[in-house]
Amino acid sequence: MFSPAQDLGDEAPCGAGSMRTVLVSMPWASIRIPNLGLSTLSSQVSKAGFPCEVIYPCMDLATSIGVEAYEQLSDAPGLFAACEHVFARQIFTADELASDEFLKFYTTSTGENPFKQILATHVAPFVERTVNAILERRPRIVGFGCTFNQTMASLFVARQLKARDPQLTILFGGGSVHGPMGAALAEAFRAYVDHVFLGEADTTLIDLIVALRDHEDPKNVRGITVGGESTSNPPMTLDIEALAIPNYDDYFRQLNAFGLEPGIVKAIPFESSRGCWWGEKHHCTFCGLNNEGIGYRRKSEDRIVAEIECLARRYRTTELMAADNILPHASWNGLCDKLIEKTLDLSLFYEIKSNLSRDQAERLAAAGIRWVQPGIESFSTPILRLMRKGVSSLQNVMCLRLCQEFGIRASYNLLVGFPGETMADYDRIGALIRRIFHLPRPSGLAALAQVHRFSPFHDDPEGVGVGEFQPAWSYRHLIPPAVLSPDRYAYFFDRPSAVQAFADHLDLINEAVRDWLASDRRVSARLGPGFLEIRDSQFGVSTLTPLESAIMVLCDRPQQVSTLVHLVGRDRRYRPVDAEACLERLILRDWLVEDDGQVLNTVPFERPHPQADLEAWGDRWLGPVFAETIKRKRAIKNKLVPARAG
């Protein structure tokens, strides 16, 4: 039986002290979330019998420049390169990096430049403190976790460590050094980076520690670099069920040491799956996540729930966030049911596919999944097909409506620039957006879809028709091209020709998004005895006719217009023309939206209603044709989708 309390892996046996490992989370990682990857590795290493600690120099820099300012810099992808640049300047000269030319882009209208100030005042003393703090722990191995705004800081501190103690073994791992990126960096910086993990390191880190302890050749360890050369392709961790629960004790100890209040913690991360079950079948064209690890692997429902409960109890919090690319599809019902059984008021975050049903939304909310990232990306079915998203525009609208009704926060972005899209697509998107101002808004303005390494855009540009691309312009200001060509280590790529080609598309959609972000329209519905009541900040309170009410309930899911008109014609009380008139009135007020011959109700209920509520209401108050239709659709769904398939 899985025992979470025993699986957190505390201190290792004293006899292994000579192989002490320190894992490092450098700037510009957010200090509001502990590092999942390093904390899981620390637990793994400790369970294997070797002392291991995770340290957070990012907290040092945050307290030095101010936590609020630091978090603004760490959370903005558009500033990642500038944040990296201040540490690149410690490795290379200003001239080599064309630093003045680069930093002028970040000068404010008042003439201030925060990055110049950080360079002048904070970087050198911060690095000195960090190097001293690491060496005071007398490690044999120092491992840096590198995401896309931590690489240059890690490289500079690694260089300083090697200069002070050449016997140290320096390791790099993480998303920004996977695959060929890591191989290139290992070659360029082999003077002070001994080994780079080119993929998942859950088991291979222990293999390397054992090899170093036993004075064996590290070239026998799979998926790393030795002397700047790769040993082999990195292995995937197939049995993630066997991994230790991450131990965040080091994180909380250092929060206290730096005088930071536990209240700044956003959430505790956990992992219930890796890879993407959708991507295994249909890799979204713009997605570069997972590298070789897109193969979907998941933990059992019992293990996931036990891990969530263990972390919540140990760290006294109800706020946790899954690092998964997507909610485990095969365990959706079972996982939610087991979380519901716990009767806890958890607040969990998950990424989900946006084809959400009413029953699923109800189950998510009841299970404590109160924040989701549904991967909306667009409100055009043709463009969603170009992306390989496997959803329609109305399914995306339905997802937002259900999230609002069930009190689930939805975070999402909109993307532009997919080969094959047309201005007509964006005319329709703009019109649709203006009909859903009362639903959850995107996180910001739409953006041109970038090319990311490992995505179909990058790996199959001709197949998806993406056109030319080149490493993002900022890379040449991080490492001089003479030292390492950006083509070899870049993850983000620019699309110069697409910037102009899709400019009008971007302008059109963002005009609508700006109006949406500024709108204060509110619309909600109530179920009455035989009617729906709509409360709309634009039109006031409206009581719908029985036919209008029936159509709104039937359109809880996307419905073909022709089917609705035919259905109304089967009821002797109404004529098809009555249905057409109702649809016109409801669409005119934005309570229904139409797209590609289908219509959908856009109005969330004030009080969340499970599917059974709508069926019971229809049984009692709607005509027999409508009530039977609701029942039939429910029966068909239950027959086609097994109860535990999600």
Place of tokens 């019971």: 616
Report pLDDT for 624.
74
In the predicted structure, residue 514 carries a pLDDT above the cut 70: yes
Give the C-alpha separation, 561 to 450, whole Å. 37
Where among 177, 209, 241 does a domain terminate?
A: 241
Split at pLDDT 50, 70, 90, the class of 277 is confident
Split at pLDDT 50, 70, 90, the class of 260 is very high
For every residue of 441-473, DSSP letters joined together read: PPSSS-EEPPEETTSHHHH-HHHHT----EE-G
Report pLDDT for 15.
43
Give the C-alpha separation, 179 to 172, whole Å. 12
Residue 426 lies in a domain: no
Residue 438 lies in a domain: no
Question: Which residue did the predictor score with more confidence, 546 or 627?
Answer: 546
Residue 311 lies in a domain: no
Percent of the chain clearing pLDDT 70 (strictly above): 94
Average pLDDT over residues 324-348: 90
Percent of the chain clearing pLDDT 90 (strictly above): 85
194-238: pLDDT as tens digits: 999 999 999 999 999 999 999 999 999 999 999 999 999 999 999
Residue 220 lies in a domain: yes
Average pLDDT over residues 70-85: 95
Residue 143 lies in a domain: yes
Give the C-alpha separation, 200 to 224, whole Å. 10
Least confident residue range of 105-114, 446-455, 506-515, 543-552: 105-114
Split at pLDDT 50, 70, 90, the class of 564 is confident
Q: Which residues of 338-368 are buried (b: 16+ CB within 10 A; e: fewer)?
A: bbeeeeeebbbbbbbbbebbbbbbbbbbebb
CATH number at residue 635: 1.10.10
Report pLDDT for 282.
87
Spatial CB neighbours of 635, under 8 Å, sequence gap ≥ 6: none
587-639: pLDDT as tens digits: 999 999 999 999 999 999 999 999 999 988 988 888 777 777 766 666 555 54
Residue 125 lies in a domain: yes
For 198, other C-beta atoms within 10 Å of its C-beta total 28
Average pLDDT over residues 330-354: 93
Split at pLDDT 50, 70, 90, the class of 646 is very low
Structure tokens at 397: 């609208």
Average pLDDT over residues 357-373: 96
C-alpha radius of gyration, the chain, whole number: 27
Mean pLDDT estimate for the chain? 92
Split at pLDDT 50, 70, 90, the class of 575 is confident
For 636, other C-beta atoms within 10 Å of its C-beta total 10
Report pLDDT for 495.
96
Give the C-alpha separation, 154 to 189, whole Å. 12
**Under 8 Å between Cβ of 324 and 350:** yes
Split at pLDDT 50, 70, 90, the class of 566 is confident
Q: pTM of the predicted model, to two decimals?
A: 0.93
299-335: pLDDT as tens digits: 999 999 999 999 999 999 999 999 999 997 777 789 9
CATH number at residue 40: 3.40.50.280
520-542: pLDDT as tens digits: 999 999 999 999 999 999 999 99
423-467: pLDDT as tens digits: 999 999 999 999 999 999 999 999 999 999 999 999 999 999 999
For every residue of 47-93, DSSP letters joined together read: HTT--EEEE-HHHHHHHHH-HHHHHHHHT-GGGHHHHHHHHHHHHS-
Residue 112: domain span = 8-241
117-143: pLDDT as tens digits: 999 999 999 999 999 999 999 999 999
Residue 467 lies in a domain: no
Where among 241, 259, 277 does a domain terminate?
A: 241
Spatial CB neighbours of 444, under 8 Å, sequence gap ≥ 6: 413
Average pLDDT over residues 408-414: 98
Give the C-alpha separation, 36 to 12, whole Å. 20
Residue 581 lies in a domain: yes
DSSP H/E element including 152: helix 151-164
**Burial degree of 133 (CB within 10 A; 0-12, 13-18, 19+):** middle
In the predicted structure, residue 13 carries a pLDDT above the cut 50: no
Number of structural domains the chain divides into: 2
Where among 219, 241, 263 does a domain terminate?
A: 241
Closest CA relative to residue 418, chosen from 455, 385, 458, 395: 385
